[in-house]
């Protein structure tokens, strides 16, 4: 398994660079756009061992980096990941294990996202892995910290089972440091240990009333009870202290357990609040009230129970180490909030007390100390650590990234290779689209997932967000701007004619002093118009290179061994059709061979003529509805090439009527008799006289 977590990011599109595990977002999004859902899932799964989890709870930094967000809204990447990962393809994907075991045993302590990611990759490298989990259930904080309305238990269980099925041994209810010492693992034959213990210990508020009043609880213990089905008692009026996802999860869970009123008390403004924005919006939608620029001062009690929370207003001062402005209390602004329950959610820390055995692992405060965040090596040569135990509470995808890096380092340790180390790359300023390009880019509304109505949400812990429909997913995937896959120019071939400059619907190609053309691949959206128009094939694209369309027809002819009359259907991927529509095409006679094309503006004159040379009796060019066309400015050039192709077909005696151009309706591609009528028209024309030449060739 190649380690890609240390690669240079210079040539990556923004979404991939932003992903902690460097998922090739662009790849699986395009596969969804092409209705190749099983392949999309395989592309996700080869990098991410917990794709269904990430499709639901990932904070999707990729979306923050998405270039489409500079035009209107970013592509809904997380929703697309969930669509592909929840679909039929997930049950057909099987990770390939090596032919034989390395013979090395590795212990993974903790079964959260970091532990499972490491176990998964180590198993694929051929090592024998055992997971030790202190809790009776697998999943770590995913299992006991994330409410089921965000991450259903059945989904997590499926993800875990797929990893365990790689031959991983699991031991639950085993707390390292109690039943087994860390040092005992080496005596039992383990050659390396990965510490992925998470951060399950809550932090204290440090205010009066926190420790001696009933109704004052920590978010960690509260959510653990919720997620283990213990139905903890909640008050009628609840205050949650904190601004992260744990605070929001606690507030929304309290509502579902019967609280009539829930307040989140956060010491900074909404701009600094670290919880996912969509989670905050959902909380507000469900009735949670948020008090910003507010800090708790004291929990007030009556008869041993919480009766109120004394607070004070804040103002923001200078930025602290996290880059956020430090809140400062405003003198004389104290007020009291009547509540009968207070949930503290101001942070968590690892419970690392067991590390004081004879191994004496170095610690950085409560966290495990590592040499760097790439090798994850500790002060003991055979012990590695990662995830929340090293960084403090972070996101699931960052923990997965740590687990994957740890697997690479452990493999190096076991096989005698030097550990891979790298310095963190400085984050440069995100490249911006020029305003003129953003203005010319076709605006396409983002698809939004359906969610449960408020009454249904608060009645229980059913999952709130639904999965995208097939049509929604296809349309959303089509919004991708294909960063860094744009056209490029072979300077040796370029004759400086300016055809690409005139053809580009976004006016991106520029001409140098020597007359040669250059294309900025960040600005280019890979429409392919310049590729189709270039008279000397100097312009090309890594997305769809020269000959791609014709080679697709050739592959189908070989695989299907077509001998009967056939029609080639060139379908714009932006059209209104599903996989089922394409699958139905081959049932008729003559057979229709469907070829997906990334916009028909990419179809060149040579593509059309070459398909007829291969023996096609006709070509049906199915264009996208105007409202779904990404590059309407390129349509006149496409129509001009179509006219030229028909003129040539007339000249060689085949007839212009063998080339039919059809604009798909906005809804229902196969509604009506247009396809049957088209096939009947082709039948009446008789066979292509070039067929014998194609067969002979």
Radius of gyration of the chain (CA): 30
What pLDDT is attached to residue 674? 64
Q: How many CB atoms sit inside 10 A of residue 389's CB?
A: 29
Torsional sign, CA 641, 645, 646, 651: positive
Q: Are 167 and 199 in contact (CB under 8 A)?
A: no
For residue 94, name the pLDDT band (cuts at 50, 70, 90).
confident
Q: Is the pLDDT of residue 587 over 70?
A: no
Please state, in angstroms and rounded to a whole number, the distance separating the CA atoms of residues 311 and 294: 7
Q: By C-alpha distance, which of 350, 344, 342 is closest to 368?
A: 350
Q: Are 70 and 63 in contact (CB under 8 A)?
A: no
For residue 663, name the pLDDT band (cuts at 50, 70, 90).
confident
Q: Is the pLDDT of residue 443 over 50?
A: yes
What pLDDT is attached to residue 23? 95
**Token pair of 382 as six digits:** 């055979």
Q: By C-alpha distance, which of 2, 97, 12, 37 is closest to 469?
A: 37
For the chain, which domains are there? 14-94+435-477 (1.10.1060.10), 105-199+350-415 (3.50.50.60), 202-348 (3.50.50.60), 485-531 (3.30.70.20), 547-696 (3.40.50)
Please state, in angstroms and rounded to a whole number, the distance separating the CA atoms of residues 30 and 697: 34
Q: What is the pTM of this model?
A: 0.91
What pLDDT is attached to residue 160? 97
The per-type count for the chain, helices as H runs and strands as E runs, is: 26, 26
Angle 89-90-95 from CA coordinates, rounded to 5°: 110
CA-to-CA separations, 591 to 500, 563, 597, in angstroms, rounded: 36, 10, 19
3-state secondary structure of 532: helix
DSSP 24-35: -HHHHHHHHHTT
For residue 696, name the pLDDT band (cuts at 50, 70, 90).
very low
Q: Is the pLDDT of residue 2 over 70?
A: no
Torsional sign, CA 10, 13, 19, 24: negative
DSSP state of 421: -
Residues 116-133 as b/e (b if ≥16 CB within 10 A, e otherwise) read bbbbbbbbbbbbbbbbbb
3-state secondary structure of 61: helix
pLDDT digits (tens, 9 = 90+) for 147-166: 999 999 999 999 999 999 99
622 DSSP β-pair partners: 571, 662
Residue 184 or residue 666, greater confidence: 184
Please state, in angstroms and rounded to a whole number, the distance separating the CA atoms of residues 432 and 609: 40
Please state, in angstroms and rounded to a whole number, the distance separating the CA atoms of residues 660 and 622: 8
Please state, in angstroms and rounded to a whole number, the distance separating the CA atoms of residues 52 and 345: 26
For residue 667, name the pLDDT band (cuts at 50, 70, 90).
low
pLDDT digits (tens, 9 = 90+) for 304-319: 999 999 999 999 988 8
Q: What is the mean pLDDT of residues 391-413?
A: 96
For residue 18, name the pLDDT band (cuts at 50, 70, 90).
very high
How buried is 580 (Cβ within 10 angstroms: 0-12 exposed, 13-18 middle, 19+ buried)?
exposed
Q: By C-alpha distance, which of 509, 458, 443, 525 is closest to 73?
A: 443
Q: Is residue 39 left, alpha or beta, with left meaning phi > 0 and alpha meaning psi from -120 to 50? A: alpha
Please state, in angstroms and rounded to a whole number, the distance separating the CA atoms of residues 119 and 127: 9
Q: Do you know the residue count of the chain?
A: 697
Order of strands, sheet of 591-597, starting from the edge strand that comes earlier in the sequence:
591-597, 566-572, 618-623, 659-663
Residues 507-534 as b/e (b if ≥16 CB within 10 A, e otherwise) read ebbeeeeeebbebebbbbbbbbbbbbbb
Bond into 590 cis (ω within 30): yes
Q: For residue 580, which phi and psi values (nearest 5 degrees)? A: -65, -35
Q: What is the mean pLDDT of residues 656-670?
A: 79
**Token pair of 271 as six digits:** 């701009």
Angle 501-503-506 from CA coordinates, rounded to 5°: 80
pLDDT digits (tens, 9 = 90+) for 164-183: 999 999 999 999 988 899 99
Q: What is the mean pLDDT of the chain?
A: 90
Q: By C-alpha distance, which of 399, 465, 417, 400 is closest to 76?
A: 465
pLDDT digits (tens, 9 = 90+) for 250-296: 999 999 999 999 999 999 999 999 999 999 999 999 999 999 999 99
- Give me the residue label for tokens 């923004």: 14
Cα dihedral: 26, 4, 376, 102 (round 10)? 120
Q: Is the pLDDT of residue 185 over 80?
A: yes
Bond into 469 cis (ω within 30): no
Please state, in angstroms and rounded to a whole number, the distance separating the CA atoms of residues 221 and 203: 11
What share of residues in the chain are helix, strand, coil (percent, to 5)? 35, 20, 45
pLDDT > 70: percent of the chain = 92
């Amino acid at each position: 398994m190649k380690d890609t977590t240390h690669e240079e990011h210079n040539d990556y599109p923004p979404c991939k660079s932003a992903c902690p595990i460097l998922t090739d977002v662009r790849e699986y999004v395009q596969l969804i756009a092409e209705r190749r859902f099983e392949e999309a899932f395989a592309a996700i799964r080869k990098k991410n061992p917990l794709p269904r989890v990430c499709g639901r709870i990932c904070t999707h930094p990729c979306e923050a980096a998405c270039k489409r967000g500079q035009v209107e809204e970013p592509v809904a990447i997380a929703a697309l990941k969930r669509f592909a990962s929840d679909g039929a393809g997930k049950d057909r994907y099987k990770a390939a294990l090596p032919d034989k075991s390395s013979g090395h045993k590795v212990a993974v302590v903790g079964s959260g996202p970091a532990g499972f990611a490491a176990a998964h990759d180590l198993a694929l490298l051929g090592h024998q892995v055992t997971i030790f989990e202190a809790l009776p259930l697998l999943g770590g904080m995913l299992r006991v910290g994330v409410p089921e309305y965000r991450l259903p238990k059945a989904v997590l269980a499926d993800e875990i089972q797929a990893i365990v099925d790689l031959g991983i041994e699991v031991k639950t209810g085993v707390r390292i440091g109690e039943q087994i010492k860390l040092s005992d693992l080496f005596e039992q034959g383990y050659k390396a240990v990965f510490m992925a213990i998470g951060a399950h210990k809550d932090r204290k508020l440090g205010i009066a009333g926190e420790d001696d009043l009933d109704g004052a609880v920590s978010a960690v213990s509260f959510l653990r009870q919720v997620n283990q089905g213990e139905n903890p008692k909640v008050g009628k009026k609840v205050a949650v202290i904190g601004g992260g996802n744990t605070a929001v999860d606690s507030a929304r869970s309290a509502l579902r357990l019967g609280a009539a009123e829930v307040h989140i008390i956060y010491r900074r403004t909404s701009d600094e609040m670290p919880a996912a924005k969509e989670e905050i919006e959902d909380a507000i939608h469900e009735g949670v009230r948020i008090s910003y620029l507010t800090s708790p001062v004291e929990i007030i009690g009556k008869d041993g129970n919480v009766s109120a929370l004394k607070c004070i207003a804040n103002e923001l001062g200078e930025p602290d180490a996290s880059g956020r402005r430090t809140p400062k209390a405003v003198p004389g602004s104290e007020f009291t909030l009547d509540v009968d329950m207070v949930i503290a959610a101001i942070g968590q820390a690892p419970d690392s007390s067991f590390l004081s055995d004879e191994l004496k692992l170095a610690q950085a405060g409560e966290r495990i100390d590592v040499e760097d965040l790439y090798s994850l090596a500790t002060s003991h040569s055979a012990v590695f650590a990662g995830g929340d135990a090293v960084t403090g509470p972070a996101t699931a995808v960052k923990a997965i990234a740590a687990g994957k890096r740890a697997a690479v380092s452990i493999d190096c340790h076991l096989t005698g290779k030097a550990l891979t180390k790298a310095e963190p790359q400085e984050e440069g300023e995100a490249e911006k689209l020029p305003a003129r390009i953003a203005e010319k880019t076709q605006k396409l509304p983002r698809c939004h997932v359906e969610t449960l109505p408020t009454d249904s949400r608060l009645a229980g812990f059913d999952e709130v967000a639904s999965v995208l429909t097939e049509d929604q997913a296809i349309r959303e995937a089509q919004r991708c701007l294909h960063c860094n896959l744009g056209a490029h120019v072979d300077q040796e071939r370029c004759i400086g004619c300016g055809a690409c400059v005139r053809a580009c619907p976004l006016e991106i190609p520029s001409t140098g002093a020597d007359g040669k053309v250059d294309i900025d691949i960040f600005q280019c959206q890979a429409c392919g118009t310049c590729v189709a128009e270039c008279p000397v094939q100097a312009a090309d694209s890594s997305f769809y290179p020269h000959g791609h369309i014709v080679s697709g027809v050739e592959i189908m002819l070989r695989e299907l061994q077509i001998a009967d009359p056939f029609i080639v259907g060139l379908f714009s991927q932006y059209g209104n059709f599903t996989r089922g529509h394409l699958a139905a095409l081959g049932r008729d006679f003559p057979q229709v061979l469907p070829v997906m094309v990334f916009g028909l503006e990419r179809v060149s004159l040579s593509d059309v003529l070459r398909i007829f040379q291969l023996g096609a009796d006709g070509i049906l060019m199915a264009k996208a509805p105007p409202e779904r066309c990404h590059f309407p400015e390129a349509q006149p050039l496409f129509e001009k090439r179509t006219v030229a192709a028909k003129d040539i077909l007339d000249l060689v005696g085949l007839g212009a009527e063998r080339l039919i151009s059809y604009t798909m309706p906005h809804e229902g591609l196969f509604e009506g008799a247009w396809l049957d009528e088209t096939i009947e028209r082709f039948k009446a024309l008789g066979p292509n006289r070039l067929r014998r030449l194609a067969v002979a060739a």
